[in-house]
Structure 1
Amino acid sequence: MEGIRTPAQGGTEKADTGNSTTPKRVRFTPRQLRAVSALLERPRSREELDRITGASNGPEVVAQLRRRGFDIPCRLVPHIDRDGLAGQHGIYHLSENDRGRLGGAL
């Protein structure tokens, strides 16, 4: 599970040889692969991604994936914290396009 074959965002990523339309293999770090696999299952909070990826900064793992062309929106959800204060927390999810790109490949 080193990586998957996927086109770049906005079109097909071509191999370096000739006019081939063969997508290049995308390589993920182990943390990125755990994050993508988890997001394919269902939307995840920042805290869940921290635990799943083994990182103390799940949003940075998401940022790395975004820089690589993946569309990972974050929906803000209101909550009340343990002190009774209103706040919001983020729920990350893969876009429908990226779910289709990644779905059968992992």
Structure 2
Amino acid sequence: MKKAFFCVLVLFLFFTAAVFADRGAIEGVITAYEAVVTEAENVAGMPLIAPDNLSALQQNAEAVAPRVAAIENEREWAIQDAVRLAALNVRFNQAMTAITKKLVQY
């Protein structure tokens, strides 16, 4: 379990560093972070965001789309990544809380 937590910490540090890197690096870190969040959810033993909440997030993103279109084309990817990262951060925090609760039970 300590190894898993250390891996998550290292990935988070890489994620933070990649924010200042180029687009390809950011995309790679997001993909890695998605894998970490999914694994944390698996360790916690449950999906931590209900499908209803996910569809609400998607609807909110779609509602914002017309405003995003007004922004310069080269900046649109940054907004989309910010939304994805915010959703991943919520999932990650929920997974870590659930894992901590399980550890406390032992």
Aligning the two structures, in what range does the TM-score lie when normalised by the shorter sequence?
0.3 to 0.5
> Which structure: greater strand fraction?
1
Higher share of residues assigned helix? 2
TM-score by length of 1: 0.35
Q: Larger relative contact order (C-alpha < 8 A, sep ≥ 6)?
A: 2
